[in-house]
Chain A
Amino acid sequence: MSNEAVAHVHRDDEGSKMGMWLFLFTELLLFGGMFILYASYRFMYPDAFKVAAMQLDTLIGAVNTILLLTSSLSVVIAIIALRKNQKTFSIYMLMFTVVAGGAFLVNKYFEWSAKFHHGIYPKGPAMADMSDGENVFFGLYYVMTGLHALHIVVGLVFILFMVYFIIKDKQTADNNQKLENAGLYWHLVDIIWIFLFPLFYLIH
């Protein structure tokens, strides 16, 4: 027993999944803090929020929602495919997920650019003319969608790692808990957006 200082344990898939779920809870509560702030400020500035929300493009928001929902489906399919030993199909599905996630980010880039162009950003020229509530709305908008976009990037990196592992046979039909965990992470990112979308884009 002269080599690694790691105690010799068997692979524990259930434990690994448990660990990932616990990590998901931390992410949920990280956003949860922001949702508490959103709820509080919407309660305090109901009209200002409605006015401010009109600046957001519902179509882009809806398209992004569909993109994420579909990318969640492709992840699930990728996992089933790998379990059926269909390596190539699994990789295609994971790459679809990456592309969909990338498209989401591209959309987000255009959305934000448009806002910046109109001076709608923290300390930007258009903010001085806005009421307190509108200021807070956009503060929350940038932080929450920004943090969410960051998590999409993390999720995509995670999934690309899984593609690499599948190619190298480190994730296989019988050994795929890491892939499932990556999927879990991706679904959480999807769920967060499921709530962000109506809260920012659908207040009419």
Chain B
Amino acid sequence: MENVSYLEYKGKHKGLLGWILSTDHKRIAILYLVSLIVFFLVAMTFGFLMRFEMLSPGRTIMDPQTYNALFTLHGVIMIFLFIIPGIPAVFGNFFLPIMLGAKDVSFPRLNLLSWYFYIFGAFLVLVSLFVGGGPIDTGWTFYVPYSLRTQTNVSLAVFAAFVLGFSSILTGLNFIVTIHRMRCPGMGWFKMPLFSWGLYSTAWIQVLATPIIGITLLLIILERFFGIGIFDPALGGDPLLYQHLFWIYSHPAVYIMILPAMGLVSEIIPTFAKKDIFGYGPIAMSSLAIAFLGYLVWGHHMFSSGISDTSRAIFSFLTFVVAIPTGVKVFNWVATLYKASIDARAPFWFVVAFIIIFSIGGLTGLVLGSLNTDIHLTDTYFVVAHFHYVMFGGMGLLFFGGLHYWFPKMFGKTYNEKVAKFGTLIFVIGFNGLYFTMFIMGYLGMPRRYYDYLPEYEIYHIIATVGSWIMIAGILIIVINLFKALLSKDRKTTEMNPWGGTTLEWTVPSPPPLENFDVIPTVTHGPYYRPNLIKSEKSH
């Protein structure tokens, strides 16, 4: 059995072809990783430009049409090209089979097809920037009737999102079957790592919710081309039904974003707490609960749109309910840290930042979920702050955290931890400077997606923009640090288990060989079991 790593083996195809034609889940993960980081940096740049424009009221560096296009694209790229594929496409693809003790996913060729759909969708987004009526300006939510009327390139952008949906669906499908069928001997459902539970719950949302946005986006295209009249109020349609269908997907979509991230937290904490996770069962079940309950709350995006009072009350109630399983996770994580001997390495810093930032985001979600307060805060910067806290501070932080956690395993290289921690600190400071200010601004009435504003908000915009510069500096420190480590010749490592983790990926070489395992392992205990360290021990 060859021990050549997946990075170096020479198969049927050479060079670049060996990567873009590979059905090896690890290579596909890297393909996604490169794509995702590129698109993240592009959308981050759009965000930088937006914040620059907002430094002063009126025109600063661009006209209103450009600003509208920028915030639309920032949203479309971040959501559809970064966050949603995010952790499943990169870390799920790379590590799910290994953590299950398998050699690959159930459908390797379908996996590659997922990536092709992703790249094709990304290409279409790119094209939509330049052809026809120019970049789309509807906001990433494509609300009708404006999206039916605007002369900008709605159809192409929306079709791109449709194509990206296929990528998401196929990944979810692949993971569900892989988890059902490819667990190694001895690994019952409750001996599976919690990251797998996160991916499993996510996959069900990917499979069942994405088609709804698929058909909705298709209908926009058909309405624009054929004037069908399903959403167009001038032809008898109901714009609220568009919003219903849109959010029936897009709310569960946020759980696609966060569940894998939470799964990652459940991996990182036991490793650095040197302790078995507290409450494995409840954490696993809470992933399923969140996935299911997430389908029931979409109306909270429509509180001021004109839906019935009865449904608003119901959706508000359900929104509170979905916070409960999330709370279960946070409590269990904190309980795991209690009386643990914590090894606060770089990945752990990301997790701590996540727990604090995500909790703030989640609690402000409850403020928005309650009808009376939402009336004042909806469509203000409060909402913008809320979702950046949970999405960026949530998934974003864990994306980079996961990268720091699994970097030595994926690339056989170590990185400068001091710089990584420093970058994280700068990032957190800038992040809060940028987004906490937005909570205040929103509370004071600053509307979202507005190009211009009254002078009384200017000071907050200035603080936020400066915060964005600090945050971006932090991101660049982090990314460049990892990039240097990747290219460096002196940072090679073959250490199989640098952090002292207990799951199966730490038993294979760094980087792993093509088929992951020489011999499929058999497991006999839970994924975080540590034979030498007893839970209640304080000293070491």
Contact = CB atoms under 8 A, between A and B. Distances in A.
A36 B229 contact: no
A39 to B, nearest CB: 10
B514 A122 contact: no
Interface string B103-135: 110111110000000000000000000000000
B201 to A, nearest CB: 14
B245 A36 contact: yes
A44 B230 CA distance: 13
A23 B173 contact: yes
Interface string B11-30: 11000001000111001000
Interface residues of B, number: 55
Contacts of A7: 24, 102-104, 108, 514-516
Contacts of A1: 1-2, 514-515
B216 interface: yes
A77 B12 CA distance: 41
Interface stretch (B61-69, B206-214, B278-286): B206-214
Nearest to A34: B215
B420 to A, nearest CB: 32
B235 A132 contact: yes
A3 B12 contact: yes
Interface in A2-25: 2-9, 12, 14-15, 18-19, 22-23, 25
A123 B235 CA distance: 10
A143 B108 contact: no
- B contact patch SS: helix
B230 A37 contact: yes
Interface string B500-530: 0000000000000011100000000000000
Interface stretch (A134-142, A166-174, A177-185): A134-142
Contact of A37 (B11, B24, B27, B241): B241
B515 A33 contact: no
B169 interface: yes
B177 A5 contact: no
Contacts of A40: 238, 241
A9 B102 CA distance: 10
A139 B24 contact: no
A26 interface: yes
B1 to A, nearest CB: 7
B41 interface: no
A172 to B, nearest CB: 21
B351 interface: no
A133 interface: yes
Contact of A18 (B2, B23, B24, B181): B181
Nearest to B21: A5
Interface in A97-133: 122-123, 131-133
B227 interface: yes
Contacts of A133: 236
Nearest to A17: B177
Contacts of A37: 230, 241, 245
A6 B238 contact: no
A18 B176 contact: yes
B180 interface: yes
Contact of B515 (A8, A12, A122): A8
A32 B212 contact: yes
B22 to A, nearest CB: 5
A41 to B, nearest CB: 8
A30 interface: yes
A40 B243 CA distance: 13
Contacts of B110: 19
Nearest to A30: B211
A45 B237 CA distance: 11
Contacts of A2: 10-11
B211 A15 contact: no
- A contact patch SS: helix
Contact of B23 (A6, A29, A123): A6
B219 interface: yes
Interface size class for chain A? 35 or more
A5 B12 contact: yes
A24 B282 CA distance: 31
B218 to A, nearest CB: 8
Contacts of A12: 106, 181
B226 A18 contact: no
B245 A25 contact: no
B236 A136 contact: yes
Nearest to B219: A143
A143 B230 contact: yes
A127 to B, nearest CB: 8
Contacts of B459: none
A6 B104 contact: yes
Contacts of A6: 23-24, 104, 108-109
B103 A9 contact: yes
B222 interface: yes
B180 A143 contact: no
Nearest to B181: A15
B228 interface: yes
A139 B215 contact: no
A7 B180 CA distance: 18
Contacts of A31: 215
Contacts of A131: 236
Contacts of B235: 132, 135-136, 139
Nearest to A146: B222
Contact of A29 (B1, B18, B212, B237): B212
A1 to B, nearest CB: 6
A14 B107 CA distance: 13
Contacts of A132: 235-236
Interface in B150-174: 169, 172-174
Interface in B8-56: 9-12, 18, 22-24, 27
A150 B237 CA distance: 24
Contacts of A15: 106, 177, 180-182
Interface of A: 1-9, 12, 14-15, 18-19, 22-23, 25-34, 36-37, 40-41, 44-45, 122-123, 131-133, 135-136, 139-140, 142-143
19 contacts: A1-B1, A2-B10, A5-B11, A6-B24, A6-B108, A7-B24, A8-B515, A12-B106, A19-B107, A19-B173, A22-B172, A22-B207, A30-B214, A33-B215, A37-B230, A37-B241, A45-B236, A133-B236, A136-B230
Given A123-B226, A139-B237, 6 more contacts: A5-B18, A15-B181, A29-B212, A31-B215, A37-B241, A122-B226
